[in-house]
Structure 1
Amino acid sequence: MKDWSEARRVVLSLGSNLGERLENLQGGVDALFDAWGLRLVALSPVYETEPIGGPKQDPFLNVIVVADTVLTPETLLERAQNVEDAFHRVREVRWGPRALDVDIISLGTETRSDPDLTLPHPRAHERAFVLRPWADIDPTAEIVGHGAVRDLLRSVAAQELQRRDDLTLQVPQ
């Protein structure tokens, strides 16, 4: 096991537009933190957004999770995909509807262009559903190679999203 002094900050994006969307998000957050290696730093408010790309589908609920981790990028990706699989994630249609989507947005200052995991996430800087909730919980956040999240928000101002203060997630214990 690694020592927590070696922890890096990770930003995860969770989204759901099938079934009980809020329950799916809560289950995803709970499952991510159910095993050793992640410590929650912040959980964003819930946002509702229209899908970007892909087939016609229902709106998403989205949240951002900021955590500290001692997991390797590969182990973190495996955990995220296992959580998606537990919610019956189907990968037949690119950007299609899904009960749960878990994306690794950034991991410290790491950059990589691997077919399985690109860091930072290649489209995070173009997505209001990532930038807005992230800015809510970390106003000084930056995306390596793209700049400050708050500044990037200007370029996605036309993307509609609604903060859903009537919907909340419980912080995992």
Structure 2
Amino acid sequence: MSVVYIALGSNLNCPAEQLRMAISALRQLPLSKVVAVSSFYGSKPLGPQDQPDYVNAVLCLQTELAPLALLDELQRIENQQKRVRLRRWGERTLDLDILLYDNLIQQTERLKLPHYDMQNREFVIIPLLEIAPSLVLPCGTNLVELARKFSDHKMEKF
């Protein structure tokens, strides 16, 4: 089984409830098992600031699904929860991103592994650190060291 880390985010239609529903759907994935889920964190939007704040989390999944098959399942869950893509980094009911898939480094048109910008996002690194404090990224960077640059984050944990 591969170990995968997935970022969850929502800022529409009761965001915390959207994350809870997504976690429930992820627990139902075939050939997969949810191993850990971080706390939920409130964060400011990454993109346009004329949208509500986000609720974010990171989930660890063990799966036998191949990366693109897993991506298809994540997009199916997003669609079930009425995900609409109106603008880049805009508001959404649910966003599910594969952060890491084992130590795989891959770039395709549909999927970049590790996630292309995860190292610059406190709303990813801090929840990831919570559930995988000894993690070393495929590039060799220790997660604890990476998280130091976010030590003064202002995200609310709930």
What TM-score comes out, normalization by structure 2 length?
0.94
Q: Does 1:91 align with 2:85?
A: yes
Q: Kindly report structure 1 stretches of 4+ aligned residues shifted beyond 6 Å.
A: none
For 1:55 and 1:132, the matched residues in 2 are separated by: 21
Asked whether the equivalents of residues 7 and 56 of structure 2 are also in contact (C-alpha less than 8 Å), the reply is yes
Partner of 1:71: 65
Correspondence for 2:106: 112
d(CA) in 2 for partners of 1:54, 1:114: 27
For 1:38-57, list aligned pairs within 5 A: 38-57=32-51
**Which residue does the alignment assign to 2:19?**
25
Give how far 1:143 is off. 2.0
**Secondary structure in structure 2 of the residue aligned to 1:41:** strand
Instruction: Answer yes or no: is 1:14 the counterpart of 2:4.
Output: no
Contact 1:54 1:93 in 2 (8 A): no
Residues of 2 paired with 1:54 and 1:108: CA distance? 32
- What is the CA–CA distance in structure 2 between the aligned matches of 1:130 and 1:111, rounded to whole Å? 18
The answer for unaligned runs of 5 or more in structure 2 is none
2:28 to 34, 40, 48: 34
Separation (CA, whole Å) in 2 of partners of 1:37 and 1:54 = 37
Which residues of structure 1 form unaligned runs of 5+?
A: 1-6, 165-173
> How big is each residue's C-alpha offset from its partner over 1:7-59, in whole Å with a ceiling of 9 and x where there is no partner?
11000010110011111001111112213121111111111101112352111
Counterpart-to-counterpart distance in 2, 1:134 and 1:34: 22
Give me the CA root mean square deviation: 1.3
CA contact (8 A) 1:84 1:101 kept: yes
Measured in 1, the distance between the counterparts of 2:153 and 2:133 equals 20
CA pair 18-146 structure 1, distance change in 2 beyond 3 A: farther
Report the TM-score, using the length of structure 1 for normalisation.
0.86
The separation in 2 between residues aligned to 1:15 and 1:59, in whole angstroms, is 10
Q: Partner residue of 1:130?
A: 124
